[in-house]
Amino acid sequence: MSKHLFWLPIVCLITACSPSLPDDVRSAMETLPDKIDFNLHVKPILSDRCFSCHGPDSNKRKAGLRLDQAESAYAELTEHPGYFAVKPGKTGHSQLVSRILTEDPELMMPPPASDLVLSSAEKAILIRWIKQGAVYKPLWSLIPPERPKLPEVSHKTWPKNGIDYFILQKNELQSRQQAEEADKETLLRRVSLDLTGLPPTLEEIDAFLADTDPNAYEKAVDRLLASPHFGERMATDWMDLARFADTHGYTVDRYRDMSPWRDWVIRSFNENMPYDRFVTWQLAGDLLPDPTRDQILATGFNRNHQQNMEGGIVEEEFRVEYVADRTNTLGTAFMGLTLECARCHDHKFDPVSQKDYYQLFSFFNNVKEAGQISWDDALPAPTLLLTDEKVDSIARFLDRQIAAAENRIEQAKNDLEPAFETWLANQRTALKATPYPAGLIGRFDLNSPQIANLLNPRQQGEMRQQDVNAFIAPVLVPGKYGNGLLMDGDAWLDLGGVGAFERDAPFTVGIWVNLPDSLHNGVIFHQGIGAALYNFRGFHLAIKNDRLEMLMAHVAPYNAIIEYAENPPRNQWIHLAMTYDGSSAAAGLKVYLNGVELPTKVDNDLLYKSIQFHFGGQPEPGIQIGARWRGIGIKDAVVDEITVFDRELAAAEVLQLFDPGAFQNLLNKPAEHLAAEDKTLLKTWYSAHAAPGQTQMQKDLQNLRRRRNETTDTVRQIMVMAEMPAPRQAHILVRGQYDVYGDPVSADTPERILPMPADLPKNRLGLAEWLFLPDHPLTARVAVNRLWQQFFGAGLVRTSEDFGNQGEMPSHPELLDWLAVEFRESGWNVKQMAKLIVLSATYRQSSRAASRAAHEDPKNRFLARGPSLRLTAEMLRDNALAASGLLVDKIGGPSVRPYQPPGLWKINGAAYRQDSGADLYRRSLYTIWKRTVPYPTQATFDAPTRDRCTVRRQKTSTPLQALVLMNDPVYVEAAKVLGGTISRAETVESGIQTAFRKLAGRQPAPEEMQVLNELQKTEYQKFSAHPEKAQGWLGSGESGIDPAIDPALLAANTVVASTILNADAVMVKR
């Protein structure tokens, strides 16, 4: 609006009186309601046409004018004192009026360049609103809901519960008649599909038809709510919301198994877990006091997002993406807000600033996770081990055994004190220090280009480079002793398999190295096959940001030991040694510089899975020196004299390794000259060598640790949430870019939605509790709206993902609030709310529309008739399987792989291995969900990719959908089995009636029977004349055919069944 502001005084003078209205606007005025409501009439116009330049986003705001707040809209224009955009009650003094009425393209608003246009009715609304005082109201959805009184209605016998009063009142105002109640067959099929996702059986239909009890329908509803399939039905929609999939997404899109979390969701719905608890466990179950396994398992919800394993990506960039996904999901799933629109700038339409976004982001920013996940099938940490009671019992037993073994070793050392004092005084000086302590299994002196283990020359050292199949000659330069090996930062020395230790094996690695000043990051030695690509599986000693880093990991940074020590000296020869005791604990991992143990800072101490690769029997990689594949090496450093031991060296032995002469001097030192630290050092040597049975006790301990590790190394695990000990500092990210930091922020909630009480913890648990505060304006509304959508096809707020200014207003605001309060006061009882909806007269109406209602309300927003919706992708397939008798109704378990066209997964190098037997016929909920290649049958019928949270599926109608129903093996096989049912019936007619009832849930009409009978006769004649054509119908699927049935008859009846499957009566839930 800043453009051509020099015109403003002239415009103001011209329009000082009430402007004359154009004829089209004057005519539109006559159609408006007497009272203009800001939320209902005005805000949608301002939001859509004005807020992008004159809304909440300060970075995009033009001319300093805000129209989303009354105080700003009423204020003097900052560039033209004395003039006002909106002057309540005075259209002639309101620049908004003159700007929307002018024909001058230099002055009109919205400007022509915006491609936004106001209709005559919209202009009339804005003018009348200003004339009536330009009253602003808060965004309707941000006003806490209060239970309204039930409205007065004329037809007092029609309502069956509170819902119906609100629906009836609106229709009575428009003189619309409510439809009659649907017939019993239609109603039972509708409610069965809505509550369980499955059609009623013939026995259930017949029982319901025969039940004359006035409460027969309620009894049917109670039976369905108690069905274990209720949880499956509810979980299906929750999978969309939770972006559940069986693969990680992005380009590689490898498999992962989160099915235990899905099983928990099903179980929770079946047990009718209160919604507040259900959500709290998923957002913050790990933060509850003494959390149970299920409470931790539930937090898998926040790990369902895509995760990237592509090589070469920026780790932090994708870690930030994961946190942003959780933040966006919070907004869509629980608040009905498009929070993602505030990631790069203040929200253009809703009262959510960029600072608000990153304060919410901060709640989810404290997970120690990798931005680039491991290339293999290792689940990204944090994870939960899915042990059972047997495994737990074994683990507890072995933990006790290990503790006892450690105590025995410690006690043996303590018992040595008298003997040690004797040895110290009389015997130690007789010892002669050897260059290498016991346990040496590898020594590489690097004096010759033919590098080999001097203890086992068959173990050849090779210089490898980033092309792992290529070898280069070592570059030898003067070293610490003779020659040393010059490292170029890219190539590494592979020690020929030496040092492939598992986490239960004690070891020591020593190396002489001369590090240049220019080196700030690089690996000195490591055991593994890569860096970030495998989340640093194995162990290493490295320079990281000018510190020594010791790491031992299954997948870093969570399932790992990570320690840091001081920056080592540069441009001089130093000896480094890393020792490990096999305990899988940070206390057992030590680093020595020139024979002296360095103090370390422990960054992570939680190693609970194998550090090896287990690549199908292939040998594990050994230690590699100076660089690694796809990692940073120690460029321009020189290394020499590498030693590897299969035991943890004692501190005195590390000194011996560094300088045998210094150790000999210590042995020779007179007792009266020994300092306390000298005695402590000598005692470590004596304990390692002189304690009776020490070697055997160490072996026994190692065996116990190995057995303990084996109990968990093969146990399934699942991704969960886990909070870091200290919160990670969050910042506003400028333009949403991961590495451009703005102001620091801390965890908090948007004040204009609901300030976070001071007594709530500023973590995910506090956030979950905030969502369910009694005066939270959004949580209950969003939840009941989505539940309403499940039964009626559209929510009371049609844009169930957006309750903000760009979303639609609720069709029945009072009903939405009544339901929200009812839900909250019921204790967040999901089954009770579902029952309330399906028992309402509104839900039970026939979907047949009177001509007037169909004309006035074609989308049935005012519900003068019952819902009429095409079955979802899952319901279509499950209906066919159930009706044919193929459905395997097992609850839960890993995802399965039914029929799918070949070759689809080749797009990212995967192979689809179809299941067989019962797994072909599981419910669609359990069909494997590959994000980049969704199961085509379901994708064709609008199932989302689940790349992000989806609370409202798109609805399409395409020719491809008909082709799927006619040709997909699932449907052809179901038709074949139903064809067998028809063939075995007493008569063809009775068989067709049975198949129709199984699929459509009702008796076929006479005209439908006539068409199907004629089709059957025609097809039978065709197949009798050309029996070879039957194979296309009868060869589909694994299920066999009855050899006693005439193939021509079976094929004809299969065509009939396929035709029924494709009928509107089957595809549509009425």
pLDDT band at residue 2 using 50, 70 and 90 as cut-offs? very low
What 3-state class would DSSP assign to 216?
Answer: helix
Do 453 and 595 sit in the same domain of this protein? Answer: yes
- Domain membership flag for residue 918: no
The boundaries of the domain holding residue 780 are 230-384+727-808
> Which of 658 and 854 is assigned the larger pLDDT?
658
* Mean pLDDT, residues 228-254 taken together: 97
| Residue 922 counted as domain residue | no
Helices (H), ranges, 299-444: 315-330, 354-363, 389-415, 417-426
Q: CA 399, CA 404: separation in Å to the nearest integer?
A: 9
Q: Domain ends where: 109, 137, 165?
A: 137
What are the structure tokens assigned to 449, written together? 């280009």
997 located within any domain: yes
Same domain, 472 and 569: yes
pLDDT at 427 over 80: no
| Pair 23, 119 in one domain | yes
Rounded to 10 degrees, what is the CA torsion of 98, 101, 106, 109?
A: 90
pLDDT class for 18, splitting at 50, 70, 90?
low
Alpha-carbon distances, residue 279 vs 274, 283, 951 (angstroms):
9, 6, 15
Same domain, 641 and 761: no
DSSP 371: S
Q: Are residues 380 and 467 in the same domain?
A: no
Over residues 473-490, mean pLDDT: 97
Asked if residue 94 has pLDDT above 60, the reply is yes
Return the percentage of the chain with pLDDT > 70, whole number. Answer: 98
Q: What angle do CA 634, 640, 641 make, to 5 degrees?
A: 135
pLDDT at 19: 61
Gap between the Cα atoms of 622 and 456, Å rounded: 15
Q: Is 128 part of a structural domain of the chain?
A: yes
Summarised one tens digit per residue, pLDDT across range 132-175 is: 999 998 999 999 999 999 999 999 999 999 999 999 999 999 99
pLDDT at 4 over 60: no
pLDDT value of position 15:
40
Q: What is the mean pLDDT of residues 858-872?
A: 96
Per-residue model confidence (pLDDT) at position 380: 95
> Is the residue at 1025 inside a domain?
yes
Same domain, 444 and 563: yes
Q: Which of 521, 519, 527, 518 is nearest to 493 (CA)?
A: 527
pLDDT at 1059 over 80: yes
Specify the pairing of strand 456-460 against strand 462-464. unpaired
* Tens digit of each residue's pLDDT (9 = 90 or more) over 644-681: 999 999 999 999 999 999 989 998 888 888 899 998 89
Average pLDDT (516-521) is: 97
Check whether 16 has a pLDDT greater than 90.
no
Mean pLDDT of the chain: 94
Classify residue 689: in a domain, yes or no: no
Tokens of 680: 């402590």
Q: Which residues contact 695 (CB under 8 A, 6 or more apart)?
A: none
pLDDT of the residue at 433 = 78
Instruction: Supply the pTM of this predicted model.
Output: 0.92
Given a cut of 70, whether residue 535 has pLDDT beyond it is: yes
Query: How far apart (Å, rounded) are the C-alpha atoms in residues 615 and 556?
Result: 19
Model confidence at 743, pLDDT cuts 50, 70, 90, reads very high
Amino acid 804 reads: G
pLDDT digits (tens, 9 = 90+) for 191-221: 999 999 999 999 999 999 999 999 999 999 9
Buried b (16+ CB within 10 A) or exposed e, 250-284: bebbbebbbbbbbbbbbbbbbebbebbbbbbbbbb
Q: Is residue 667 part of a domain?
A: no
The verdict on 370 and 446 lying in the same domain is: no
CATH of the domain at 526: 2.60.120.200
The helix/strand/coil state of 746 is: coil
Choice among 193-197, 660-664, 963-967, 987-991 with the minimum mean pLDDT: 660-664
For residue 1019, give the nearest of 1065, 1054, 989 by alpha carbon.
Answer: 1054
- Tell me what percent of the residues of the chain surpass a pLDDT of 90: 81
Q: How many CB atoms lie within 10 A of CB 68?
A: 22
Structural domain ending residue among the three candidates 764, 793, 808 = 808
Q: Is the pLDDT of residue 330 over 90?
A: yes
Q: ∠ CA(625), CA(558), CA(593), 5° rounding?
A: 40
DSSP code, position 860: -
Please state whether the peptide bond connecting residue 110 to the residue before it is cis, i.e. omega within 30 degrees of 0.
Answer: yes
Residues 555, 447 share a domain? yes
Q: pLDDT tens across 625-641, in order?
A: 999 998 999 999 999 99
State which of 763, 785, 808 marks the end of a domain. 808
Q: Kindly indicate the confidence band of residue 1029, based on its pLDDT and cuts at 50, 70 and 90.
A: very high
Which residue type does 17 have? C
**Coil, strand, or helix at residue 603?**
strand
pLDDT of residue 81: 83
Q: How many domains does the chain have?
A: 4
Whether 416 has a pLDDT exceeding 90, the answer reads: no
360, 443: one domain:
no
Q: What digits encode the pLDDT tens for the residues 672-699?
A: 888 999 988 998 888 888 777 888 999 9
User: What is the pLDDT confidence band of residue 779, given thresholds at 50, 70 and 90?
Assistant: very high
- Render pLDDT for 541-585 as a digit per residue (tens, 0 to 9): 999 999 999 999 999 999 999 999 999 999 999 999 999 999 999
Q: What is the DSSP string of 230-297?
A: HHHHHHHHHHHHTT--SB--TTT--B---HHHHHHHHHHHHTT--HHHHHHHHHHGGGSSS--HHHHH
In order of 7, 14, 23, 107, 112, the CA distances from 103 in angstroms are: 14, 14, 14, 8, 11
Same-domain pairing of 263 and 376: yes
Whether residue 454 is found in the same domain as residue 603: yes
751 and 641 assigned to the same domain: no
Q: Which residue, 174, 265, 247, is CA-closest to 812?
A: 174
The number of beta carbons lying within 10 Å of the beta carbon of residue 378 is 20
Burial 747-781 (b: 16+ CB within 10 A, else e): bbbbeebbebeeeeebbbbbbbbbbbeeebbbbbb
Q: Give which of 749, 815, 836, 819 is closest to 783, Cα–Cα.
A: 819
Q: Is the CB of residue 442 less than 8 Å from the CB of residue 498?
A: yes
For 585-600, letters b (16+ CB in 10 Å) and e give: bbebbbbbbbbebbeb
How many Å is the maximal CA-CA distance in the chain?
Answer: 118
pLDDT score for 529: 84
Cα–Cα distance, 106 to 113 (Å, whole number): 10
User: pLDDT tens digits, residue range 269-310?
Assistant: 999 999 999 999 999 999 999 999 999 999 999 999 999 999
Is 960 part of any domain? no
Q: Which two tokens stand for residue 193?
A: 């599909």
